[in-house]
Amino acid sequence: MTDDRTFVVIGGGLAGAKTVEALRERGFEGRLVLFAAEAHLPYERPPLSKDYLKTGEKLEDVFVHDQDWYAAHDVEVRTGTSVAAIDRDAKQVLTDSGERTAYDRLVLATGSSPRRLGIPGADLEGVFSLRTIEDSQAIRAVLVPGGRVVFVGGGWIGLEVASAAREAGAEVTVLESLELPLVRVLGPQVAQVFADLHRDHGVDLRTGVTVDALEGDTSVTGVRLGDGSVVPADAVVVGIGAAPNVELAKEAGLDVDNGITADAVGRTSDPDVFAVGDVANVEHPFLGQRIRVEHWANALNQPQLVAAAMLDQEGPEPELPYFFTDQYDLGMEYHGLGNPDDEVVVRGDLAAREFVAFWLRDGRVTAGMNVNVWDVGDAIKALIRSSSAVDTGTLGDPGVPLETLT
């Protein structure tokens, strides 16, 4: 039987590309249209702050699929095309050029956008944020020996780019408003590891500071702090978080609250509209709360749940949150959803940056992070999913295999 339905996906990132892939894998034979605002085919973003940023090589590796794949799977990819509005009554999307495309079911994979500095000088030349291929290319051009690069914000992206800048020989200053970078995610004990890491690699890390203005005539020359001092800068990279791109959803009358609110399989307040990836604030059955995750693994895995629901099929169990980072000689993976106020148990050597840290609430593991320790991810996830109380002394003992604790 021929399927005469049309499914439309709005968003040219990993989540959008994986959604159309999952729909075809699960047997959808109808018309499939993907709108990508950028001129590129859908691509992954982690390389933009990692390998591609450092080398500028193998750009082809960032793309989820090449043009031949979309042609072979009969996916209409409209690159360089922005969707201006969603008409839910008519079940159509309207592009900036005035084209209308009817849909039976719609997926919003609109992602997120970097937050901007709301201070004088924020629009000067030489001020960057990182979201697109072009952003990565522009930042790489200023990561030169002796160049003075100032980072406003000490989050994951900022610290990854800061490490690339130091490896390129730039003079790096990181300005963080809190007492430690990443402290809201990791808590003070583990966040200190990352502070020490960057200082040990020559970064001028300044914490507890405020930024009042960026100075310069046409190009940035410095960052003025709250105490009146000025940090000289040839370039400034802003990494103060991201905001979900909810404008289309909000104007269409969908429920929005820190992203597009959706159930566990991505279904929004309109049963024929789904949300996936950075923009989706979804119910998580295991965690028992609504979460919005801006990490690569979420965009990779969540589309399987959404595609199954769109086809009225049973999908897989939602994955636990996961993210990773590479900075200098430190590699890290994080599973679960801890709270910086949770009890922290460490097995291994914090000072040597070779350890596994666990976050516990009421004696139960909520999250685990392995730093330069590998092949423990499955055991960490099993500990979290077991919801069993664990003995902290045993948990912190490297001589006790993690697999025996569940």
% of the chain surpassing 70 pLDDT: 100
pLDDT confidence of residue 212:
98
Distance of alpha carbon 160 from alpha carbon 136, whole angstroms: 12
| C-alpha dihedral, 120 to 123 to 126 to 127, nearest 10° | 80
Q: What is the pLDDT of residues 151-160, one digit of tens each?
A: 999 999 999 9
Regarding beta strands 6-10 and 105-108, do their DSSP bridges make them parallel or antiparallel, or are they unpaired? Answer: parallel
pLDDT confidence of residue 116:
94
Q: What is the mean pLDDT of the chain?
A: 96
Q: Which residues of 208-224 are buried (b: 16+ CB within 10 A; e: fewer)?
A: ebebeebbbeeebbbbb
Q: Could you identify the residue written with the tokens 């605002």?
A: 37
Cβ 268 vs Cβ 275: under 8 Å: yes
* DSSP code per residue over 165-229: HHHTT-EEEEEESSSSTTHHHHHHHHHHHHHHHHHHTT-EEEES--EEEEE-SSB--EEEETTS-
* 89 φ, ψ (degrees, to nearest 5): -65, -45
Q: Is 69 exposed, middle or buried (0-12, 13-18, 19+ CB in 10 A)?
A: middle
- Token representation of residue 235: 């370039």
Is residue 1 over pLDDT 60? Answer: no
Q: What is the pLDDT of residues 234-290, one digit of tens each?
A: 999 999 999 999 999 999 999 999 999 999 999 999 999 999 999 999 999 999 999
How many C-alpha atoms does 386 have within 13 Å on its Cβ side? 18
Is residue 179 over pLDDT 80? Answer: yes
pLDDT confidence of residue 401:
93
Which amino acid is located at 275 in the chain? A
pLDDT confidence of residue 2:
79
In this chain, the answer to whether the domains covering 6-113+242-310 and 116-238 adopt an identical fold is yes
Q: What is the pLDDT of residues 292-335, one digit of tens each?
A: 999 999 999 999 999 999 999 999 999 999 999 999 999 999 99
pLDDT confidence of residue 406:
86
Q: Is 291 exposed, middle or buried (0-12, 13-18, 19+ CB in 10 A)?
A: middle
CB atoms within 10 A of CB 403: 11
State how far Cα 386 lies from the chain centre.
Answer: 27
pLDDT confidence of residue 126:
98
Residue range 116-238, CATH number: 3.50.50.60
* DSSP code per residue over 291-302: E---SHHHHHHH
Q: What is the pLDDT of residues 351-398, one digit of tens each?
A: 999 999 999 999 999 999 999 999 999 999 999 999 999 999 999 999
Regarding beta strands 242-244 and 260-262, do their DSSP bridges make them parallel or antiparallel, or are they unpaired? Answer: unpaired
Q: What is the pLDDT of residues 181-214, one digit of tens each?
A: 999 999 999 999 999 999 999 999 999 999 999 9
CATH topology of domain 329-405: Enolase-like; domain 1 (3.30.390)
Is residue 49 over pLDDT 90? Answer: yes
Domain ranges for the chain, please list them.
6-113+242-310, 116-238, 329-405
Out of 3.30.230.70, 3.50.50.60, 3.90.226.10, 3.40.50.1480, the CATH code matching 6-113+242-310 is: 3.50.50.60
Rounded to 5 degrees, what angle do the CA atoms 237, 241, 244 make? 125
Terminal C-alpha separation, the chain: 48
* DSSP code per residue over 344-380: EEEEEETTTTEEEEEEEETTEEEEEEEES--S-HHHH
